[in-house]
Amino acid sequence: MNSAAPAADSAAFCADLVRTNDFPHYAATLFTPAAERRALLALYAFNVEIVRVRDQVSQPLPGEIRLQWWTDMLSGHAHGSAEGNPVAAELLRTIRDFELPVEPLSLLVDEHQFDLYNDPMPTMTALEGYLAATCSALFALAARIMAPPSDAVEHLARHAGLAQGIAQIVANLPRAAAHRQLFLPQQLLASHGCSMEDVFAGKQSSALGAVLDQLVSEAQQHLATAVSLLREVPSSVRPVFLPLSQARADLKNLSRLGRNPFAPQPVSRLRTLWTLWRASRSREFTK
C-alpha cells in the first residue's frame, strides 16, 4: 500500500490484521464507539506487527532491523515514508488524535527484542517486567483512548496484562517449545526440578505440571484483582478489558487435570465472541 492510499484503506487493513491475528482484542472493539474503535484497531495492529516479527525472520538481525524501523518511526526518524505503511499511518493518527504517549509504545517494541533470541526468561520478576511493558502497557494505552488516564486504570491495566500474558505463555507452550523459546521462568523450572531440555523435547512430567500450575495460579490471582478493580474505572473504559473474560476461560481450561501441556488448544472465534458478549452484559462490566 502506498502513501497515496485512502485513509479508509489503512483503517480496513488494520481491522483485518487484528481480526486475523488477535481475535480477542478485535472482538472487544465491537463493543466500542466507531471513532475509538478505529484508534483501538490501529493500536492493536501495531502490536500484532511487533509480536509477529519473530515469525517473519529466520535470524535475529533482520528482526532487530524491523523493530528498529518502528522505533525510528515513533521517534519521527523512520527511513522512508511512515505514511506509506498502513499500520504506521493509522498509529500516528491515533497518537495525534488521542494524545497517546510515545514512550510506552517504544518500550513495547524494545521489550519484544527478547522474542528474537532463544535466551530463557530468567526469573518470575523478569517475566512480570516483560509482561508489564507489553501486555499491561497495551491495556493501559487502549484505556487512554477511551478515557483520561488515572492511577486506577493503570493499576487495573497492570494486573490485566499479567493475567492475560501469563495465560498466553502457558497456552503457547507447544509452539514456543518447538522453536526452543522459553518464556517459562528458568528459576521457576529449577525450583521444581524441571529441565529446559525436557520442555523443548515436549516431555510431560509432574515437575513441569507443578511449574504450569504455579503460573496458572499466579495468573488467576492477577485476574481476580483486575476484575475487582473494574468497578473503580469509568464504564467507558471497561470494554477494552473484555479480553479478560477470554483469559478466564483459557485459565480454566489450562488448569484441567490430565491436560497435555504440549497439545494445542485452539479456541474458535465464535466461542471467543460469545465469551466476550456474555461478559459485556455481566455485572462486572456494567455495574
In the chain, where the domains are located = 1-101, 118-287
Average pLDDT, integer, range 64-90: 86
Average pLDDT, integer, range 216-228: 98
Please, are residues 111 and 130 in contact by the beta-carbon 8 Å criterion? yes
Please, are residues 162 and 225 in contact by the beta-carbon 8 Å criterion? no
C-alpha cell of residue 281: 452484559
Q: DSSP class of residue 120?
A: P
Query: Does the pLDDT value for residue 1 go beyond 60?
Result: no
Please, are residues 131 and 175 in contact by the beta-carbon 8 Å criterion? no
Fold of 118-287: Farnesyl Diphosphate Synthase (1.10.600)
Quick: pLDDT tens for 111-166.
Answer: 999 999 989 999 999 999 999 999 999 999 999 999 999 999 999 999 999 999 99
Quick: pLDDT tens for 84-113.
Answer: 899 999 999 999 999 999 999 999 999 999
Query: Does the pLDDT value for residue 194 go beyond 70?
Result: yes
CATH of the domain spanning 1-101:
1.10.600.10
Q: What percentage of the chain exceeds 70 in pLDDT?
A: 97
Q: DSSP secondary structure string, 88-154?
A: HHHHHHHHHHHT--HHHHHHHHHHGGGGGS-PPP--HHHHHHHHIIIIIHHHHHHHHHHS---HHHH
Same fold, 1-101 and 118-287: yes
CA 152, 112, 9 angle in degrees (round to 5)? 85
Q: What percentage of the chain exceeds 90 in pLDDT?
A: 91
**Of 158, 160, 187, 184, nearest to 171 (Cα)?**
184
Average pLDDT, integer, range 58-75: 94
